[in-house]
Structure formats: C-alpha cells, structure tokens
C-alpha cells in the first residue's frame, strides 16, 4: 500500500471512531474526608432507677462540611470500645440510656467521628468523671 492511502484510511478511521477527548466525561475529584467534630460533651441527665442505668446526653458541634453523619462509640481503656450508634445529619446530640453504674465506676469515655463516602474524620474524645 502506498503511504497516501494508509494516511487516508487512518483519517477515515479516526473520523468514524473519534479521537482525543471528544465524548469523554471528566473524572470528578475524589471527595474529601469530613471535618472533625468539635466540643464533644457528655453529661448525665438522669437515672433510670428501675433498670439501674444512667441517661447520658452526648453532644457536639460540627461544620457540616463533607459530613453525612457520625459514628459514636463508648468505652474506656480497660474495657475497650463499643459502637453505640450511627447518627445521621442534622443531629448534634445523642441520648445514651444504657450506661451501667459499674461502667461509671471505671470511667466512661466517648469517641466520635464524622463520616462520608470518603471515609472517617479524625476522632474527638470526651471523658466523663468517675462516679
């Protein structure tokens, strides 16, 4: 085949198939991890005496940037950590009504992380006084 015919065939194929970036959607940037919540607080708001548990209100602040919700865990260094709840926006507090007095004597801490499709934020912690 002569070079001119090869060139014309290549032009025809590129015209039919397309070339370059035509028709290709740009890839959106990956979402950023959520902002870390701030000012985590936990306070006993009452006692359910018939079942001997403390009612604890856990509250926090957040910017709302890149946040879909929150993951709250309770525990301490001795007993380990247990996920208490996954909380959706627009919540900025959670009532934890199953803290036993025995847990309170060891000290109770809460861990909170924001989440979105990119993952989890850094952890914010709050330690309650022992009782």
Q: Find how far residue 93's CA is from the centre of its chain.
A: 15
pLDDT, residue 23, reads 63
CA of 69: how far to CAs of 1, 41, 61, 76, 120, in Å?
65, 17, 12, 23, 10
CATH superfamily of 38-127: Immunoglobulins (2.60.40.10)
Model-wide pTM > 0.95: no
pLDDT, residue 1, reads 52
**pLDDT for 73-123, tens place per residue?**
998 777 788 999 999 999 999 998 877 766 666 678 899 999 999 999 999
Q: Are the C-beta atoms of 26 and 43 separated by less than 8 Å? A: no
**pLDDT for 25-71, tens place per residue?**
777 777 899 999 999 999 888 877 666 777 889 999 998 788 999 99
- Any idea where the domains of the chain sit in the sequence? 38-127
pLDDT, residue 11, reads 47
pLDDT, residue 107, reads 74
Query: Which parts of 18-120 fold into alpha helices (H)?
Result: 101-106
- CA separation for the pair 105, 13 (Å, rounded): 78
């Amino acid at each position: 085949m002569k070079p001119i015919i090869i060139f014309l065939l290549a032009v025809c194929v590129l015209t039919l198939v397309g070339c370059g970036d035509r028709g290709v959607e740009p890839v959106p940037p990956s979402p950023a991890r959520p902002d870390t919540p701030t000012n985590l607080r936990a306070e006993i708001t009452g006692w359910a005496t018939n079942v001997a548990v403390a009612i604890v209100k856990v509250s926090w602040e957040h910017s709302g940037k890149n946040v879909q919700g929150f993951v709250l865990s309770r525990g301490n260094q001795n007993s380990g950590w247990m996920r208490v709840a996954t909380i959706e926006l627009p919540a900025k507090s959670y009532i934890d009504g199953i803290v036993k007095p025995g847990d309170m004597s060891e000290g109770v801490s809460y861990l909170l992380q924001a989440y979105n499709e990119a993952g989890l934020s850094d952890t914010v912690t709050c330690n309650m006084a022992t009782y």
